Amino acid sequence: IPFYRIIGESGGSLYSYAYNVYNLFLNISTAGIPIAISKIITEYNTLEMYEAKERSYKVGRNMKLNEKRIVNDIRLLALDMINAAGSGHPGIALDAAPTLYTLFAYHLKFDLERKAWCNRDRFVLSAGHGSALLYSTLYYLLDEFNLEDLKNFRKINSQCTGHPEYNLNNRIEVTTGPLGEGFATSVGLAIGEKYLESTFNKKKNIVFDYKIYALVSDGDLMEGISYEAASLAGNLGLDN
């Protein structure tokens, strides 16, 4: 179900719809979700809020209306996964969804066909407990998982594990979970890129120039390994 139709721009009722969905996730069981969702969709259909033609006026700073809906889709998809699993971390899914969307939509360099392309940018979710957000973002923007994968979040043999596990077929670059591990691995990846750059790049032939991006939590920064890795990165002058 396209959740943006529930909480999308609707005159003065945006916040009331968001509040209804929030209460929906808090107050009903997993089995009751389809019925409750269908009631909200029915209510939405009576409002006739949308025209077939896309509208391009802006909501918020530098963000088009449809991008707002995409971010809300990603948020609620992650919440639905967490709710179905009965465990997970909804806070990071709600708060960091705009960051991940912006990163994947505007900054990361990758090849849609060749997932293992050697000069792709790397993204590391050091805050591995926020895996539901990563999976929902990859599903929504790059079609990396299917709905059955998302429904099996945190279950045995699931593609969507509780913490990300290395799998280039799904664009998961690094296994993360222990706090600080992803941070330190990101520094290692940056060192590796610099080595490749110095070995293969020529003035007129740039082979490697990829960047490493990491989403780091406060928990990561409570671990000593993060500061040791940060000190090494500073000492080496890593700018990638």
Concatenating the DSSP letter of every residue in 133-184 gives HHHHHHHHHH--S-HHHHHTTTSTT-SS-SS---BGGGTB-----STTHHHH
Q: What is the pLDDT of residue 204?
A: 87
Q: What is the pLDDT of residue 64?
A: 57
Which pTM does this prediction carry?
Answer: 0.72
Average pLDDT over residues 119-141: 95
In this structure, the chain runs to a length of 240
Q: Residue 58 in 3-state DSSP?
A: strand
Residues sharing a CB contact under 8 Å with residue 17, sequence separation 6 or more, in sequence order: 6, 7, 8, 10, 40, 44
Q: What's the rounded Cα separation, in Å, for the pair 176 and 182?
A: 6
Residue type, 64: K
Average pLDDT over residues 110-132: 95
Residue 229 in this model has a pLDDT that exceeds 80: yes
Q: What is the pLDDT of residue 13?
A: 44
Residue 8 in this model has a pLDDT that exceeds 80: no
Mean pLDDT score of the chain: 81
Q: What's the rounded Cα separation, in Å, for the pair 194 and 238?
A: 8
Q: Where are the alpha helices (DSSP H) in the chain?
A: 4-7, 14-27, 33-47, 65-85, 90-102, 131-142, 147-151, 181-200, 224-236
Q: Which position has the higher pLDDT, 217 or 38?
A: 217
Average pLDDT over residues 111-137: 95
Q: What is the pLDDT of residue 1?
A: 39
Q: What's the rounded Cα separation, in Å, for the pair 49 and 65?
A: 13
Q: Residue 222 in 3-state DSSP?
A: helix
Residue 37 in this model has a pLDDT that exceeds 70: no
Average pLDDT over residues 173-183: 95
pLDDT in tens, 41-91: 444 433 333 333 333 333 345 555 589 999 999 999 999 999 999 999 999
Band the pLDDT of 203: cuts 50, 70, 90. confident
Q: Are the CB atoms for 183 and 190 separated by under 8 Å? A: no
Q: What is the pLDDT of residue 65?
A: 59
Residues sharing a CB contact under 8 Å with residue 98, sequence separation 6 or more, in sequence order: 71
Residue 40 in this model has a pLDDT that exceeds 50: no
Residue 208 in this model has a pLDDT that exceeds 90: yes
